[in-house]
Amino acid sequence: MTQLNPHLPPPFDTSSAEFTLIAQGAESLLYRTTFLHPNTSAALKVRPEKKWRHQTLDKRLTRQRILAEARVLVKLSGEGIASGGGGKKVKDPKLGVQGVGALRGRVPAVWGLDWEKGWLVMEWIEGRTVKQAIYDRDAGDEMGLRALLGEVGRVVALLHGAGVVHGDLTSSNLMLRPLKPETGQEGEEKGVAKPGRLSGEVVLIDFGLATQSVSDEDRAVDLYVLERAFGSTHPKEEALFAEVLAAYGETLGKSGKVVLRRLEDVRMRGRKKSMLG
Amino acid sequence: MPIAIGLEGSANKLGVGIILHPHHESADPPSPHDSAHSDDEASFSHARKHASPPVQILANLRHTYNSPPGTGFLPKDTAAHHRRWVVRLVKQAMKQAGVQLEDIDCICYTKGPGMGAPLGSVAIAARTLSQLWDKPLVGVNHCVGHIEMGRAITGADNPVVLYVSGGNTQVIAYSAQRYRIFGEALDIAVGNCLDRFARVLNIPNDPAPGYNIEQLAKKGKVLLELPYAVKGMDVSFSGILARVEEMARKLEASQTSDAGAWKDDESGEAITKEDLCFTLQETVYAMLVEITERAMAHVGAKQVLVVGGVGCNERLQQMMGMMAAERGGSVFATDERFCIDNGIMIAHAGLIAWKMGFRTPLEESTFTQRFRTDEVLINWRD
């Protein structure tokens, strides 16, 4: 068969489906394509070879990361044996009442993968990144921004409650998916949010560095990464990050408060440390 | 024309530099170019082919304190070394620069971060000069010194900066008058990891343990498995150090034992010291390039500037260059005159601040071991 897309790994290189490059992140290339049916949008995540790394290291990392990402997504979606309790509530108090499967719909579903060739196909998430949404928002919409940040805190809390730590929380890894069109709305085109509006569902993406952990330290570091990334990307809105943490604490209850206290220690470490051992 | 003298001594290198910032009439836009490996020794004016502001390096002297193989340099010995050498270096620098006391506008010194006692010796020297010569003091952040010097020498306009040395490991991007730290080492600096590994294998510290590891690594072939600890934008080296020290001890033991050499599973060949150096470099440098790439992707930058002593490493520069090229960008690096701690970067960053009106009164001319890069207001940039 002729190679229609030589830059893609097999079997996509000989596929006649459409592939649109959406993003070239540090780790991977993201394409929009279709899966099984021309109307079903899918995300194809390709982890290309990084020739600047030693080949052995590169292969090892690619394999580990694709598998880890897929396992975590499957667990969070609560499907199959990988969901741990088989969908039942797990006894560990740190996991909270939500348990596994709580994030179905809030993370992309896994549809296929090949860890040797370095690709993963997932459900396509409509919308923009939270980063873009914040940049594009209506200037005066502080309430909307606070609500959005609260939603972010809530979703991260659910994630931690399900026993997963994202590992790379930034506003580029949070999507804002428009809500389903409501019936009877006048004036507003169905399914299309006004560009400046901050409404929608927060969906987590890019679980390439996620780990399955319930430790307070890991959860606190996860929040710290988000806090610092937020401060660097949205310096003017830095003060409102407290909304994220407040919602997090509320959603995760006692465990959440412990993590927030731990976060203070993690922050102090950044301030105080000397890097000489 | 503003001239500054800069004193640096936050670790085991004592540096004295004298810099001149010529007035420039035209506001030429910066023209970035890659990797400045100038052949000039003392003076260095790139007014025509280089970014503004062009700087003239009138003197850049350094003397390094190295401890014997198997040991690291201790604060009090390092401070003693700096005290022994500073007067000589200052005199030599003044002579080489051919400037008089009256020409100097300010005395710049490293306020921090770094090791306490060595920083203290240099601060005292700076204060003494300031009072003897009746010139104002300017306390400079060591990291900001590296960044500003890197920008001036290479012409990189707004790069993501990877600052890697024995004492620091940070990925920095400029935003709203601050050098913001995007990612960093959570426990020890990468250079510290390399230096401590060198001790276990008795790799010499002269001229620098990292340099000697680099030369050995060039002859290494086998990539053993080390933990790879990248956590988002941050990295962690203490686990890697523990594991590689374990390997070093295993290697030493196997070389003296009757059981025979430690052999690689795949090739069947004996593992060597060179293989360990190779393994460590490939792993930690891959981690650093990865977090730099993340920052570049997040910020949308195309340029990378590598500064700090570990930035001299050719393999790191090569890996970074390949990564940047894959992204349609480029890497900027300086040679050992500027990568390794030096006085000229302190003079340069200090003079920039002085021109903005910044002064450090005598009562405030302290030094501190912890001084975050983002604490400094970069009011000379928009």
Whole-number average pLDDT of chain B: 90
Nearest chain A CA: its distance from B7 CA (Å): 21
Residue contact B188–A277, C-beta within 8 A: yes
Q: Which of B178, B182, B221, B231 is best to mutate for the A interface (most A CBs within 10 A)?
A: B231
**Confidence tier at A1 by pLDDT (50, 70, 90):** low
Question: Complex ipTM, two decimals?
Answer: 0.82
Residue contact A276–B168, C-beta within 8 A: no
**Confidence tier at A94 by pLDDT (50, 70, 90):** low
Residue A54 touches partner B, C-beta closer than 8 Å: yes
Q: Which residue has the higher pLDDT, A168 or B364?
A: B364
Confidence at residue B284, expressed as pLDDT on a 0 to 100 scale: 98
Confidence at residue B24, expressed as pLDDT on a 0 to 100 scale: 65
Task: Find the closest chain A residue to B196 by CA distance.
Answer: A277
pLDDT digits (tens, 9 = 90+) for B179-222: 999 899 989 999 999 999 999 999 999 999 999 999 999 999 99
Q: List the single range of A174-188, A236-250, B265-279, B319-333 with lowest mean pLDDT.
A: A174-188
Name the helix (H) or strand (E) containing B17. Answer: strand B13-20
pLDDT digits (tens, 9 = 90+) for A178-221: 987 644 444 444 445 565 678 889 999 988 888 889 999 999 98
Told to judge if A13 belongs to the known catalytic residues of this protein, a careful annotator would answer no
Query: What number of other Cβ atoms are within 10 A of residue B268's Cβ?
Result: 7
CA–centroid distance for B225 within its chain: 28
CB-closest option in A50, A168, A274 to B369:
A274
CB-closest option in A53, A167, A274 to B232:
A167
Q: Name which of A129, A131, A123 is nearest A73 in CA terms.
A: A123
Residue A41 touches partner B, C-beta closer than 8 Å: no
Position B78 pLDDT exceeds 80: yes
Size of interface A-B (CB pairs under 8 A): 105
Whole-number average pLDDT of chain A: 83
| Mean pLDDT, residues B38-51 | 36
Q: Which of B74, B143, B186 is best to mutate for the A interface (most A CBs within 10 A)?
A: B186
pLDDT digits (tens, 9 = 90+) for A36-76: 999 999 999 999 999 999 999 999 999 998 998 999 998 88
Confidence at residue A139, expressed as pLDDT on a 0 to 100 scale: 83
CB A118 within 8 A of CB A66: yes
User: What part of A 224-253 touches B (C-beta under 8 Å)?
Assistant: 225, 228-229, 231-233, 235
Residue A167 touches partner B, C-beta closer than 8 Å: yes
Confidence at residue B243, expressed as pLDDT on a 0 to 100 scale: 97
Position A101 pLDDT exceeds 70: no
Joined tokens for residue B284:
């930690």
pLDDT digits (tens, 9 = 90+) for B164-175: 999 999 999 998
Query: What number of other Cβ atoms are within 10 A of residue A181's Cβ?
Result: 12
Confidence (pTM)? 0.81
Q: How far apart are CA B174 and CA B158, in angstroms?
A: 7
Q: How far apart are CA B285 and CA A57, in angstroms?
A: 12
| Mean pLDDT, residues A218-238 | 90
pLDDT digits (tens, 9 = 90+) for B12-36: 999 999 999 998 644 333 333 323 3
b/e code A38-72 from CB counts within 10 Å (16+ = b):
eeeebbbbbbbebebbbeebbeebbeebbebbbbb
| Mean pLDDT, residues B339-347 | 97
CB A134 within 8 A of CB A99: no
Residue contact B228–A57, C-beta within 8 A: yes
User: What part of B 137-176 touches A (C-beta under 8 Å)?
Assistant: 166-169, 173, 175-176
Residue B377 touches partner A, C-beta closer than 8 Å: no
Position B371 pLDDT exceeds 70: yes
| Mean pLDDT, residues A12-31 | 88
Position B157 pLDDT exceeds 90: no
Residue contact B294–A26, C-beta within 8 A: yes
Residue contact A235–B175, C-beta within 8 A: yes
**CB-facing half-sphere around the CA of B151: CA atoms within 13 A:** 21
The H-assigned helical ranges of chain B are 75-97, 116-133, 142-154, 190-200, 209-217, 238-256, 273-299, 314-326, 336-339, 343-355
pLDDT digits (tens, 9 = 90+) for B239-297: 999 999 999 999 989 888 877 788 888 888 889 999 999 999 999 999 999 999 989 98
Residues of B in contact with A173 (CB under 8 A): none
Confidence at residue A223, expressed as pLDDT on a 0 to 100 scale: 95
Position B37 pLDDT exceeds 80: no
| Catalytic pick among A58, A141, A168, A216 | A168
Residues of B in contact with A275 (CB under 8 A): 167-169, 185, 187-189, 192
Q: How far apart are CA A113 and CA A117, in angstroms?
A: 9
Residue contact A235–B233, C-beta within 8 A: no
Percent of chain B past pLDDT 70, that is, above it, reads 92
Q: How far apart are CA A182 and CA B363, in angstroms?
A: 67
Task: Find the closest chain B residue to A223 by CA distance.
Answer: B232
Residues of B in contact with A235 (CB under 8 A): 175-176, 180
Confidence at residue A225, expressed as pLDDT on a 0 to 100 scale: 87
